[in-house]
Amino acid sequence: MKNRKSNTSPWQRILGIYILAFFLVAFSFHSGKSRNKFSFKKTQIYKLK
């Protein structure tokens, strides 16, 4: 069990880093899109008023 854990730990670490990076990129893209949409909606409402 101990040997198995030591063998898989580096892979898990690499996988975790990749997943974290992917989530960060996806979140940044998503937040940017939502921000643009929000600003667009805001301007539309402002124009309507």
SS3 sequence of the chain: CHHHHHHHHHHHHHHHHHHHHHHHHHHHHHHHHHHHHHHHHHHHHHHHC
pLDDT digits (tens, 9 = 90+) for 1-49: 566 666 668 888 999 999 999 999 988 887 777 666 666 666 666 676 6
Phi, psi of 41 (to 5 degrees): -60, -40
Largest Cα–Cα distance of the chain, in whole Å? Answer: 68
**Which pLDDT score is estimated for 32?**
72
For the entire predicted model, the pTM comes to 0.45
**Which pLDDT score is estimated for 23?**
92
